Structure 1
Amino acid sequence: MGKFGKAAFAAVLAAMVATSGAMTGGVRAQAPAQAPAAAAPATPPTARVGAAPLTKADVDAWLDGYLPYALQRGDAAGAVVVVVKDGKVLTQRGFGYADVASRKPVDPERTLFRQASISKTITWTAVMQLVEQGKIDLDRDVNAYLDFTIPARGGKPITMRNLMTHSAGFEEAQRGLNSYDPAGMPPLGAVLKRWTPTRIFDPGTTPAYSNYGTALAGYIVERVSGMPFADYAERNIFARAGMAHSSFRQPLPPSLRPLMASGYLLGSGPAGKFEMNSLSPAGALSATGADMGRFLIAHLADGGPLLKPQTEALMQRRTLGIPGLNGMALGFYEQNINGRRVLSHAGDTLAFHSQLWMFPQERLGIYFSMNAAGSDKVSGAIRSDLLDGFADRYYPAEPRDGRVDAETARLHARMMIGTYNKSRRFETTFLKVLELAGQVKVTSDGEGGIRFTPSAGLGGQVRKWVEIEPFVWRDATGRMRLAAVVENGKVVRFGLDSSPFMVFEPVSAALSTAWLTPALLLSLAALLLTALAWPVAALVRRRYGATSPLSGTALRGHRFTRAFAALAVAVFLGWFMFLQQLLSGFDNLGGQLDWALILLQLATPIIFVGLLGLSLWNAWLVWHGKRGWLARLWSIVVPLCALVLLWVAIGFHLIGFGLNF
């Protein structure tokens, strides 16, 4: 792997494990106690005082004043923006370079961008086409359409509606997801059958974003239609919408390859390779900005050539969400702003970062994509500010926030304090250990507000959240909201406003990194000192001609404990190095490091259990011998450290066998 792949993949996956900065969602069978207010109204305000004219000239002038500076400041390469209105292209613009080395400019009509998860909107459109043909039932067990079985959980099967709202309950999966090598792209059915990710939530109860779930829907499209997914998309979506420069094929067809933009981690850095996705219906689309504009036009025209009006209306209907926040439709999710209802979907590879927005009532759509992540992951903030700036300029509205009295605000802030984990997570595999750096904390600002550090703004500043309704907070300097679900006087989950396909839930005290991470670091430091003290003491004795005060069984207990302390630190260091290498590039996620994983899975229980047993034996020997107070104290410290390591290994699945992740 080159410098691009190692740095980029580690950064993106680490961000996903920790928090992508703007996550939300949630669904409950009934309204929670002390429920937040309903979501933003679908009916837009009539007053448009100060609105700029929505014309090509004005939009172009506004974009010229925003994007070139934003791209330069964020060290990005290029971008494309398309705005459609009332069935026509209002404007489509390219900024910066499709290829930096050759200074090739971005052309909205001819430059292809990788769409990543925006691909899902094509998949969901295909599903809805088959729904309106009566070939797929949204509420039928998906096993009826498959040639393998997805087990039920909680006595309930998965339905297509669950898949379209990311509420099937799958945990996150990464093995074999991406590759730079076409040989690493087996047929879709083979990928899905190799391993079904564990379902960690009952269907329909908890949104947990899932690439596997979307790919499963794409495979159902293949089986019901009788043709490969890429063929189906070309015949029934691209051809009907006029998307001549779009493809799910990996690698791209020869006619499209010269049009593909280069992707970058930084605009000033090297170009990366073409990123391929084995779960192709979830993330393999390549398309021009102009083609994505045509796709938006079709959906904004009551389905246009793609869907019947009643099917489009069903697809756009809010389906689930935490009250007080934006929610999920079927495939799209809400991004309501300034009293206007907006449906959206984003997509991110290592290098390409895209988003589309639809204002259904205004019959307006916006598509945006960048071919570089930029410094400090600036692509996400640029997208967010693009929507905010557009809405404030052309659809302004006065804020209508309420306030909660100071005493209640302080009480609710205290209720929110804690450590949380997101629903999109690794739960049953060894990658759960990434939670040691990935759990998030909510704190009080001491003034009745809360702080939630992962959701930083464009300048990297920490947001301060002010309570505007019971258990609904808004960013004090912006418009993003955060809302909690409270049951029996306790916060059971909360979400952020921008992505209603995930929630945050309290972490059990036993696995909370609030205490576990510092305990682990202290334990490793103490065991390292224990291991180093053995040779250091031996060298000192040799230097001064002294002999060891220990002999026989006491000496053996002393030496074995220190040897296993060294081995335990080495095993943990081995896991760290393995994870670093595993996550350094796509090429390591297809089983290339299985040998190292097997060795670590064999060594971990032997060394950690051995250390605990030997340190307890040594403590018994110390306390039954004539040893000083320091030796007695340290004989207790070492077993406690061993217990911490063993607890981490068990709780985060470093002890266990299996090659899936």
Structure 2
Amino acid sequence: MPGLFAEVRDGGQVWRGAAGVADLATGRPVTAGLRHRVGSITKTFTAAAVLQQVESGRIGLDTPIGQYLPELVPGERGGAITVRMLINHTSGLAEYLPYAYPSLKAFPALADTGPQSLDDHRLTRFHRTELIGMGVGAPAVGTPGGTPGVYSNTNYLLLCELLEQVTGTTAERCITRNVIERAGLRDTGFPTGPDVDGPHSRLYEAWFGMIDPPRDHSVHDMSWVGPSASLISTVADLNRFYGKLLAGEIVSPSSLAQMQRTVPVVSQEGRTIDYGLGLHAMEGGPGQDVFWGHGGTVWGGGALAMIRADGRRQLAVAVNLQRWNRLDSSGRPQPHPIDGALAALYRLAMFG
């Protein structure tokens, strides 16, 4: 792991730490204040923006998406898939990524995968409706409302389209104005190009040992995930956001309760998690508190932000290497010491 940085909050106490380098070529160290691509942590921001529109009466949480976007989810599926099913990944819509990046196979069946598409599409400008079409047109991964759900970026690109239809502005502007600015986040925003603005780390992608040494992917057009997973933030801003969210300052208490109603969902790594509306729950073990938050990965980078249910204890951590695990003969990622080290950090930060 080239570099890692984190912030832990316990009531009024704040700890920030960093280790390693932000640039392998120069040896520049990482610091705790760096800006970072936070991937699918963006989904909590998107879900909050949608729930604000539910509160205003512009969106019905249990209204079929076909009533809003019949051209994108037509026919019976449009009538069966509700807005809630998109937010909690129980729509049955497939992930579009294997179709947008042909040499990348979907998790967890990685035996025939390859990294070539990553370089081929570094600066490719994807159109959101094109990506949605790939996911909607792919074989379904479940029935609408069925559990366990299957995590899919297609769901959140549709939510971005929905936000644009009901607000008359871009999804990025809607989320910025109603969520990011409401939370008072000064170092969080959507990219305006393929670069990360401000002080940041390089992002190194290993693709399960097939890219050796890992390659810098910090310059990458983020239209491959759009406003569903492209936010740039800091560990301090992430903790501030989740603190405001659980305090009822971003959405109403009733909307927060909806966000915390979980169903089983199979993650992209093949694990079953308890997923709500843009939040997932993590427990530390018998008798230990529940934490809420989200993780995220991009090409070369990752982040995790979690907050205890009472809002007092928080962790936000960022790493600048992704897919360090090598694959076994069946194409499954093998355990790696980094996994254990991160798990130990999470336990210490969250539970003491």
Q: Which TM class, normalised by the smaller chain length?
A: 0.7 to 0.9
What corresponds to 1:91 in structure 2? 15
User: Structure 2 vs 1, CA of residues 258 and 232 (structure 1 numbering), >3 Å: closer, same or farther?
Assistant: same
Deviation at 1:193, TM superposition (A): 4.4
User: Structure 2 vs 1, CA of residues 297 and 386 (structure 1 numbering), >3 Å: closer, same or farther?
Assistant: same
The answer to whether the Cα contact below 8 Å between 1:316 and 1:329 also exists between their aligned partners in 2 is yes
Q: Does 1:311 align with 2:255?
A: yes
User: Structure 2 vs 1, CA of residues 391 and 365 (structure 1 numbering), >3 Å: closer, same or farther?
Assistant: closer
The answer to whether the Cα contact below 8 Å between 1:319 and 1:330 also exists between their aligned partners in 2 is no
| Matched position secondary structure for 1:296 | helix
Query: Aligned letter for 2:80?
Result: P
Deviation at 1:320, TM superposition (A): 5.1
User: Structure 2 vs 1, CA of residues 115 and 308 (structure 1 numbering), >3 Å: closer, same or farther?
Assistant: same
Q: Does 1:384 align with 2:329?
A: no
The answer to whether the Cα contact below 8 Å between 2:315 and 2:349 also exists between their aligned partners in 1 is no
Report the Cα distance in structure 2 between the residues aligned to 1:143 and 1:154, rounded to whole angstroms.
Answer: 8
Report the Cα distance in structure 2 between the residues aligned to 1:363 and 1:193, rounded to whole angstroms.
Answer: 42
Report the Cα distance in structure 2 between the residues aligned to 1:283 and 1:391, rounded to whole angstroms.
Answer: 24
The answer to whether the Cα contact below 8 Å between 1:112 and 1:286 also exists between their aligned partners in 2 is yes
Report the Cα distance in structure 2 between the residues aligned to 1:346 and 1:380, rounded to whole angstroms.
Answer: 14
User: Structure 2 vs 1, CA of residues 357 and 201 (structure 1 numbering), >3 Å: closer, same or farther?
Assistant: same
Query: Aligned letter for 1:84?
Result: R
| Matched position secondary structure for 2:61 | coil
What corresponds to 1:288 in structure 2? 234
What corresponds to 2:105 in structure 1? none
| Matched position secondary structure for 1:93 | strand
The answer to whether the Cα contact below 8 Å between 1:315 and 1:331 also exists between their aligned partners in 2 is yes
Query: Aligned letter for 1:133?
Result: S
User: Structure 2 vs 1, CA of residues 141 and 291 (structure 1 numbering), >3 Å: closer, same or farther?
Assistant: same
What corresponds to 2:143 in structure 1? 202
Higher helix share: 1
Greater relative contact order structure (CA < 8 Å, 6+ sep): 2
What corresponds to 1:166 in structure 2? 89
> Kindly, what percent of the aligned residue pairs are identical?
24
Report the Cα distance in structure 1 between the residues aligned to 2:9 and 2:145, rounded to whole angstroms.
Answer: 34
Give CA-to-partner distance per residue, 1:8-32, whole Å, 9 cap, x none: xxxxxxxxxxxxxxxxxxxxxxxxx
The answer to whether the Cα contact below 8 Å between 1:124 and 1:331 also exists between their aligned partners in 2 is yes
Q: Does 1:100 align with 2:19?
A: no
**Equivalences for 1:185-334 in 2 at 5 Å?**
185-193=125-133, 196-198=136-138, 199-206=140-147, 207-251=149-193, 257-265=197-205, 269-275=214-220, 276-301=222-247, 303-304=248-249, 306-319=250-263, 327-334=274-281
The answer to whether the Cα contact below 8 Å between 1:119 and 1:285 also exists between their aligned partners in 2 is yes
Q: Does 1:365 align with 2:314?
A: yes
Q: Does 1:122 align with 2:45?
A: yes
What corresponds to 2:330 in structure 1? none
Deviation at 1:203, TM superposition (A): 0.4
Q: Does 1:176 align with 2:100?
A: yes
Report the Cα distance in structure 2 between the residues aligned to 1:184 and 1:91, rounded to whole angstroms.
Answer: 39
User: Structure 2 vs 1, CA of residues 363 and 345 (structure 1 numbering), >3 Å: closer, same or farther?
Assistant: same
The answer to whether the Cα contact below 8 Å between 1:77 and 1:371 also exists between their aligned partners in 2 is yes
Report the Cα distance in structure 2 between the residues aligned to 1:182 and 1:154, rounded to whole angstroms.
Answer: 33
**Equivalences for 1:645-660 in 2 at 5 Å?**
none
Report the Cα distance in structure 1 between the residues aligned to 2:298 and 2:219, rounded to whole angstroms.
Answer: 10
| Matched position secondary structure for 2:86 | helix
Query: Aligned letter for 2:301?
Result: F
Q: Does 1:344 align with 2:293?
A: yes
Query: Aligned letter for 1:329?
Result: G
Deviation at 1:294, TM superposition (A): 1.5
What corresponds to 1:551 in structure 2? none
Query: Aligned letter for 1:243?
Result: L
Query: Aligned letter for 2:9?
Result: V
Deviation at 1:81, TM superposition (A): 1.0
What corresponds to 1:145 in structure 2? 68
User: Structure 2 vs 1, CA of residues 183 and 312 (structure 1 numbering), >3 Å: closer, same or farther?
Assistant: same
Report the Cα distance in structure 2 between the residues aligned to 1:216 and 1:210, rounded to whole angstroms.
Answer: 11
Report the Cα distance in structure 2 between the residues aligned to 1:250 and 1:197, rounded to whole angstroms.
Answer: 29
Deviation at 1:127, TM superposition (A): 1.1
The answer to whether the Cα contact below 8 Å between 1:123 and 1:282 also exists between their aligned partners in 2 is yes
Report the Cα distance in structure 2 between the residues aligned to 1:313 and 1:363, rounded to whole angstroms.
Answer: 18
| Matched position secondary structure for 1:298 | helix
Q: Which runs of 5+ in 1 are unaligned?
A: 1-75, 395-661
Report the Cα distance in structure 2 between the residues aligned to 1:272 and 1:223, rounded to whole angstroms.
Answer: 33
Give CA-to-partner distance per residue, 1:155-213, whole Å, 9 cap, x none: 96111111111110012322336867686224434543466233242101131110111
Deviation at 1:137, TM superposition (A): 1.0
Task: Report the TM-score, using the length of structure 1 for normalisation.
Answer: 0.43
Report the Cα distance in structure 2 between the residues aligned to 1:233 and 1:288, rounded to whole angstroms.
Answer: 17
User: Structure 2 vs 1, CA of residues 368 and 130 (structure 1 numbering), >3 Å: closer, same or farther?
Assistant: same
Q: Does 1:355 align with 2:300?
A: no
The answer to whether the Cα contact below 8 Å between 1:326 and 1:336 also exists between their aligned partners in 2 is no
Report the Cα distance in structure 1 between the residues aligned to 2:135 and 2:276, rounded to whole angstroms.
Answer: 28
Query: Aligned letter for 2:24?
Result: V
Task: Report the TM-score, using the length of structure 2 for normalisation.
Answer: 0.77
| Matched position secondary structure for 2:100 | coil
Alignment size in residue pairs: 310
Instruction: Quote the RMSD (CA, aligned, Å).
Output: 3.0
Report the Cα distance in structure 2 between the residues aligned to 1:184 and 1:299, rounded to whole angstroms.
Answer: 34
Query: Aligned letter for 1:105?
Result: P
Query: Aligned letter for 2:188?
Result: S
Q: Looking at CA atoms only, which structure, 1 or 2, has the larger radius of gyration?
A: 1
Report the Cα distance in structure 2 between the residues aligned to 1:200 and 1:271, rounded to whole angstroms.
Answer: 33
| Matched position secondary structure for 1:246 | coil
Give CA-to-partner distance per residue, 1:627-653, whole Å, 9 cap, x none: xxxxxxxxxxxxxxxxxxxxxxxxxxx
